Amino acid sequence: MRLDRFLSETTPLTRSLAKRALKNGEVTLNGEPIKQAATHIDTQEDVVLLNGARLALVGLRYIMLNKPADVECTARRGLYPRVIDLIDLPKAERLQPVGRLDVDTTGLLLLTDDGQWSHRVTSPRHRCAKVYVAELAEPMEGDMAEWAINQVAEGIMLDGEETPTQPATLRFISPRQAKLTITEGRYHQVKRMFVALGNHVDALHRRSIGDIELTDALAPGEWRELTPEEIATF
């Protein structure tokens, strides 16, 4: 890898700023000052220091975040903070959400810079189960709750869609709180499903994706790295 690219990959420096650091004598290669940006290095064997601090490439990261409300799953800066702003890691901007959550939806959000792993999680053919808890505007109980459970199990035709939803599982925790397990990721799917059932979602929280479950130890806005066992589930 070119030395200027290595510097930009391992620090906040742009390629032009990396070249300036080289020109200013801030970089050493295997103990010797070096100023040639085009120098090729072995990223595993060579020792590169910037102002005395050793640099190393960032490996693939797999993150679990307890997403709070009013935080966006977007790379652009807008009206709300971004989820990557909550993650204190080098090059956090490279992390991509594995299936987005709406700005007002809370709970489990996975982020990674491993595109193949992300695809395995989100690919429709893998039918990855996602569990949500919805707070409902109107109570549903008795015959109405039983009807809703059956409708969800059979599949619901959403407004503007040409095919019904895949069979899903609905369970009522209380008349105004429901646990929904789906294997798709259509646009605003959970909210639209409850609209089709004649109700409205006031608050939505994602508890799990596949075998990865949000832990109680993570407060809203907190994150941790996934364990090797969690990563291997996909």
Q: Are 203 and 136 in contact (CB under 8 A)?
A: no
Q: Which of these, 137, 116, 132, 131, lies nearest to 195 by C-alpha position?
A: 137
Q: Look-up: residue for tokens 């290595």?
A: 6
Calculate the CA 61 to chain-centre distance: 11
Does residue 85 have an active-site annotation?
no
In the three-class reduction of DSSP (H, G, I as helix; E, B as strand; rest coil), residue 131 is classed as strand
DSSP state of 92: G
Rg (Cα) of the chain, in Å, rounded? 23
Contacts for 113-122: CB closer than 8 Å, 24+ residues apart: 113/60, 113/61, 114/60, 114/61, 114/62, 117/60, 117/62, 117/231, 117/234, 120/234, 121/209, 121/210, 121/234, 122/98, 122/185
Calculate the CA 209 to chain-centre distance: 11
* Per annotation, catalytic residue among 4, 42, 46, 102: 102
Helix (H) or strand (E) holding 213: strand 212-213
**Active-site residues: which are they?**
102
